[in-house]
Amino acid sequence: MTTPQPLMRLYPVRERSEQRVDGMLGRFSFPFAGNFDLARYAHGALLVHNDDIIDPGGGVDPHRHSEMEIVTWVVEGEVRHTDTAGHTAHLTAGTMQRMSAGTGILHSELNPSDSDPARVVQMWVPPDTPRLRPAYAQRHLSDALDEAAQEGRAVTALSGREGEEPGLGIANHWVALDIARVLPGREVSFAAAPHTHLYVTRGALEVRADDVDTSIEAGEGDAVRGSWTGALTARSASDDVTEVLVWRMHANF
């Protein structure tokens, strides 16, 4: 049996497909609109990774999900969430939301502002146990991220991995999501995982892995994906604070 060579690749923002619908511009890391075979294009366990701009007063009316862990990070603006499990929430920039759709749930996501757009990154992974009861959690992380930035470390926003702090938790024991704000001239390291998806929400980074010979520079809207076993390091390449989302995954489709 041969061992796959470590691989790291840049997916630049200009290659993202886009679709405008219902007062929202969706920008997709993986084929999404009209795609009924999400697993075919997945990386690790990550099925969907959309960077969405929601117009003032725009958004998505009630729609149904099932058997999916849906994670939303609010980059800018605010979002109003309602669902048929009785949850109503007002999400502001720096808030992480996790909704376990389980056996089925309807929800809506709307921008309540009449003047300012909202920007969110929405990500989907499957649960590793079917037919769960729908569940919901959210947490504002800006203060924790700013404190961690001063110490040069990431914050684990959610994890299903045994032995890790769960954060918001997620019903998949193969995955974890870290967030970091990297100060100019500083770097942050992330634990090793065989499947990694790094996404820059703002700023710029030089990205390298211990067992990959080359480094990659990634800016806002760029993704870095690959398979490697060494720790990942992201060093600021910006004069401003850089924000990055890193999925660490130990299983794939």
CATH number of 142-249: 2.60.120.10
Share of the chain above pLDDT 90, in %: 89
Q: Are residues 210 and 231 in contact, defined by beta-carbon separation less than 8 angstroms?
A: yes
Residue 2: per-residue pLDDT: 42
Q: Are residues 118 and 111 in contact, defined by beta-carbon separation less than 8 angstroms?
A: yes
Torsion-angle region of residue 76: left (phi > 0), alpha (psi -120 to 50) or beta?
Answer: beta
Q: What residues does each domain of the chain span?
A: 10-140, 142-249
Q: What CA dihedral angle connects 79, 80, 82 and 86, to 10 degrees? A: 110
Q: Are residues 174 and 250 in contact, defined by beta-carbon separation less than 8 angstroms?
A: yes
16-20, 168-172, 226-230: which has the highest mean pLDDT? 168-172
Question: Which carries the bigger pLDDT value, residue 169 or residue 40?
Answer: 169
CA distances, 95 to each of 74, 119, 139, 145 (Å):
6, 12, 6, 11
Mean pLDDT score, 72-92: 98
Strand order in the sheet with 216-219: 187-190, 232-236, 204-209, 216-219
Fold match between domain 10-140 and domain 142-249: yes
Residue 4: per-residue pLDDT: 54
Q: What is the DSSP letter of 39?
A: G
Q: 3 pLDDT exceeds 70?
A: no
The encoded tokens of residue 241 equal 């604070």
Q: Are residues 114 and 56 in contact, defined by beta-carbon separation less than 8 angstroms?
A: yes
Topology classification of domain 10-140? Jelly Rolls (2.60.120)
Rounded CA separation 201/199 (Å): 6
Q: 1 pLDDT exceeds 80?
A: no
> Terminus-to-terminus CA distance in the chain, angstroms?
20
Torsion-angle region of residue 40: left (phi > 0), alpha (psi -120 to 50) or beta?
Answer: alpha
Give the model confidence (pLDDT) of 157-210 as tens digits. 999 999 999 999 999 999 999 999 999 999 999 999 999 999 999 999 999 999
Place of tokens 């193969």: 174
User: Mean pLDDT of all residues in the chain?
Assistant: 95
- Read off the pLDDT band of 35 (50, 70, 90): low
Residue 22: per-residue pLDDT: 80
Residue 253: per-residue pLDDT: 72
